[in-house]
Structure formats: structure tokens, C-alpha cells
């Protein structure tokens, strides 16, 4: 609970903080500085023991709430000039609660949309994360951001997916597919998962060739990294999301050999595979594959667990039975790139057949090579 005195505010020269604040004003004055009428109501207690009180609603917020209308308090342009982040909040409230934005309020948002570029990256990030983590269906708010001209300012990489065609079995374009993937993830799930889904196909806007998106996962990973850096997401979270996007187009075949599974494990050693599989599931749902698990995914996960348990030295700890010093003594080679190249080839051989990971065999292979 937060408790504060009534306050009124002066002009907002920086579109963020008031130039001056005056305390001790009336409740109506305090409510008058709020953003939307539905947020400009208060409950005045009359009898706390009996839980009786009166609604203070100087801007008819209750009527707007009942009618499903989102309306700025007073003159919309003035409210949004005070804090441009309110433009984004309008889309978040309207999208989450199914509200219709009042005509004058919407007109002011469209006119002032470019000013949202003046809002700090951290505040934009936090508002977008509220959309992604709190809204059961974030697509509604994102579509509103697009319609109001805000998405092109905040996330031009995402806005660029509008009009990019998808496969024939998928309804809509690449932006529609992206939003369907976000909506396919239940609210309350790992927050990074919805953010990964929102950014996972950014590369499609520039990689369409002959009906295919060649390397879009790699291009998309780079674009996502730039977006997350711009939004100042903590580095560890950004790296986690980017690595998942980079690998989300893996193509498992039940015919994979155990060696192929081990190579997949090594290839995704820096990836949160739980997040990867969850993103792949949402991507499949959005692509019309179905709501159930991807065919073979449970089998792949079981095979990964089995290989990790049986071959932890190579797959988890990346330990060979010999090291560079052993190679220098055995082969008479000084330290340098050649030693590293030999070790790399030996690692590949052990991934193919883990029984090779014993000193005599590895040294014999090194001599032959």
C-alpha cells in the first residue's frame, strides 16, 4: 500500500516529470492529474468499521468503465504531453480490458505517437513487459500499438513483419503469426518465453527468398539482440532469449543416431532447452500444427536426458581423457593453434563414439592425425 498527500502538478517540460509539485490541494485536484477517467476515481471512507464510504468520481470514470470506454482526463493532448508513456498505457489498458478508446483520446494518441520516442528505454521496456506478463492475450494491445502508430516507433523491427507472407496453411502474415505464438503461451509462464515469442521471427522481414525464409533464425537473433539492448534488458536475460531464437528452427528426426543427439546437445550447450522447446511449441500452434506437443519432442527430450546421464564428462563438463599437455608430450608439438585443432577433432570423434574417450585410444588417434 502506498500513502501520499494530495498533490497538483505544474507543466511537464521534459514530458516525464512536473516542473513543480504542490501538496495540500483538494482530492478533485489530485484526481485531475491522472491519465484516464477510469483511474481518476477514489473511495472516501465514511465509517471504516462498517466499511461504508462514498465514490469520488469527478470525471465520470464509473460511467466510462461501465460503457467500456477509455477516455483521457480533461484535454487528451495535455495529458499525453505530461508523460508520453501514457500513449503506450492507453493501448495496454484498452487491449487487456477490451475497452474502446474514445475518439478524441485516440486522435491525440495518433497525433502524438512520435513523442513516445522521448520516453526512456527502461520505462518503455517495463510497460511492454506488463503487456506480455499480465495480459492473457497480449496480441490485442500490440495490434492497438500498431493501429495507433506507436509500434513503428517503439519496435520498428516487429512492425516490419506486417505484410510479410506466411506459409499457405497459416492465416495472416508474419506479424499475425508472431502474435498468435505469443497468445499461445499461457499467462503466468516464464516472462522471457513471451518476449522470445514476440521477437522470434524478426528475421523474416528481410530473408524471404523463393517462398522460404533463408537463415531467418540467425538474422532474427541479431535483430532481437539489438532490440533487447535498446530496451536495456539485463544481459543474462537477453542472452538467454537470443540463443533460443537462434536455435528455434532445429529439425529433429526420429531417425537421428545417438551421435546426432549428442551433437545437438553440444550445439545447444548455451541454450535453455526448456525455453527452446516451449518456444517451438508456441511456434507450432501459431503455424497450425496443432495444440499438442510437437511429434517427437518428448522422445528427443528423453534421448537428451539419457545421453547427458551417460556421457556427462563430454557433454556437460567437456572433459576429454587427455589434455593439451598430454598431446605436447606425446607428439612433441609446442603449445599453439595446432594443439587446439587436434583437441577439437578428438572431441568430434568422442561425440561420435564416447567409448573412444580413454587416454590410449585418444593418443593413438592423435598420432594418426
Band (1; pLDDT cuts 50, 70, 90): very low
Cβ distance 108 to 77 under 8 Å?
A: yes
Band (6; pLDDT cuts 50, 70, 90): low
Cβ distance 317 to 343 under 8 Å?
A: no
Q: Is the pLDDT of residue 369 over 90?
A: no
Mean pLDDT of 226-230: 98
Report the alpha-carbon distance of residue 310 to residue 320 in Å, rounded.
Answer: 15
C-alpha cell at 347: 572431441
Band (171; pLDDT cuts 50, 70, 90): confident
* Nearest to 137, CA basis, from 90, 89, 194, 175: 194
Is beta strand 100-101 parallel, antiparallel or unpaired with respect to 69-70?
A: parallel
- Cβ contacts of 155-163, under 8 Å, gap ≥ 24: 155/227, 157/199, 157/202, 157/205, 157/223, 157/226, 157/227, 158/198, 158/199, 158/202, 160/202, 160/205, 161/201, 161/202, 161/204, 161/205
Close Cβ partners of 79 (under 8 Å, ≥ 6 residues apart): 35, 72, 73, 86, 108
Task: Say what percent of the chain tops pLDDT 90.
Answer: 69
Band (3; pLDDT cuts 50, 70, 90): very low
Average pLDDT, the chain: 90
Q: How far from 204 is each of 130, 141, 143, 174, 193, CA to CA, in Å?
A: 26, 22, 19, 7, 19
Alpha-carbon torsion 203, 208, 213, 219, what sign?
negative
Q: Is the pLDDT of residue 155 over 50?
A: yes
* Nearest to 111, CA basis, from 64, 149, 79, 146: 149
Classify each residue of 339-366 as buried b or exposed e, where b means 16 or more C-beta atoms within 10 Å of its C-beta: beebbeebbebbbeebebbeeebbbeeb
C-alpha cell at 231: 530496451
Three state DSSP letters for 269-326: CCCCHHHHHHHHHHHHHHCCCCCCCCCCHHHHHHHHHHHHHHCHHHHCCCCCCCCHHH
pLDDT digits (tens, 9 = 90+) for 328-345: 998 888 999 999 999 989
Backbone angles phi, psi at 64, to 5 degrees: -65, -40
Band (26; pLDDT cuts 50, 70, 90): confident
Is beta strand 42-47 parallel, antiparallel or unpaired with respect to 52-56?
A: antiparallel
Cβ distance 177 to 287 under 8 Å?
A: yes
Cβ distance 29 to 8 under 8 Å?
A: yes
pLDDT digits (tens, 9 = 90+) for 89-144: 999 999 999 999 999 999 999 999 999 999 999 999 999 999 999 999 999 999 99
Backbone angles phi, psi at 173, to 5 degrees: -105, -170
DSSP 3-state of 201: coil
The pLDDT of residue 16 is 54
Q: Where are the alpha helices (DSSP H) in 49-169?
A: 61-67, 76-82, 85-97, 103-112, 121-134, 139-147, 151-154, 156-159
Give this prediction's pTM. Answer: 0.84
Mean pLDDT of 307-321: 86
Amino acid at each position: 500500500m502506498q500513502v501520499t498527500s494530495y498533490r497538483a502538478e505544474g507543466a511537464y517540460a521534459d514530458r516525464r516529470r512536473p516542473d513543480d509539485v504542490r501538496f495540500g490541494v483538494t482530492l478533485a485536484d489530485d484526481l485531475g492529474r491522472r491519465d484516464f477517467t477510469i483511474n481518476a476515481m477514489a473511495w472516501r471512507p465514511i465509517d471504516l468499521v462498517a466499511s461504508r464510504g462514498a465514490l469520488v468520481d469527478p470525471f465520470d470514470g464509473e460511467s466510462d468503465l461501465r460503457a467500456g470506454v477509455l477516455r483521457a482526463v480533461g484535454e487528451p493532448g495535455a495529458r499525453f504531453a505530461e508523460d508520453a508513456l501514457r500513449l503506450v498505457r492507453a493501448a495496454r489498458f484498452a487491449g487487456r480490458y477490451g475497452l474502446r478508446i474514445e475518439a478524441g483520446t485516440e486522435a491525440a494518441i495518433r497525433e502524438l505517437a512520435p513523442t513516445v520516442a522521448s520516453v526512456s528505454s527502461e520505462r518503455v521496456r517495463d510497460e511492454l513487459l506488463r503487456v506480455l506478463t499480465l495480459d492473457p492475450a497480449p496480441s490485442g494491445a500490440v495490434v492497438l500499438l500498431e493501429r495507433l502508430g506507436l509500434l513503428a516507433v517503439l519496435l520498428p523491427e516487429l512492425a516490419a513483419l506486417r505484410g510479410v507472407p506466411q506459409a499457405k496453411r497459416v492465416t495472416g502474415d508474419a506479424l499475425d503469426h508472431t502474435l498468435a505464438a505469443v497468445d499461445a503461451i499461457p499467462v503466468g509462464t516464464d516472462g522471457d518465453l513471451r518476449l522470445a515469442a514476440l521477437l522470434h521471427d524478426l528475421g523474416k522481414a528481410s530473408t524471404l527468398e523463393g517462398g522460404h525464409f533463408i537463415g531467418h533464425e540467425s538474422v532474427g537473433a541479431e535483430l532481437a539482440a539489438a532490440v533487447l539492448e535498446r530496451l536495456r534488458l539485463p544481459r543474462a536475460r537477453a542472452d538467454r532469449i537470443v540463443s533460443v531464437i537462434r536455435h528455434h528452427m532445429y529439425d529433429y528426426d526420429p531417425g537421428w543416431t545417438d551421435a546426432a543427439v549428442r551433437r545437438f546437445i553440444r550445439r545447444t550447450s548455451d541454450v535453455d532447452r526448456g525455453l527452446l522447446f516451449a518456444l517451438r511449441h508456441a511456434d507450432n500452434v501459431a503455424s497450425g500444427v496443432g495444440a499438442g506437443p510437437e511429434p517427437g519432442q518428448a522422445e528427443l527430450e528423453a534421448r537428451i536426458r539419457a545421453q547427458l546421464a551417460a556421457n556427462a564428462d563430454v557433454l556437460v563438463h567437456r572433459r576429454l581423457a587427455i589434455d593439451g599437455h598430454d598431446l605436447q608430450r606425446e607428439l612433441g608439438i609446442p603449445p599453439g593453434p595446432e594443439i587446439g585443432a587436434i583437441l577439437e577433432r578428438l572431441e568430434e570423434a568422442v561425440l561420435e563414439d564416447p567409448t573412444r574417450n580413454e587416454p590410449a585410444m585418444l593418443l593413438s588417434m592423435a598420432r594418426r592425425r
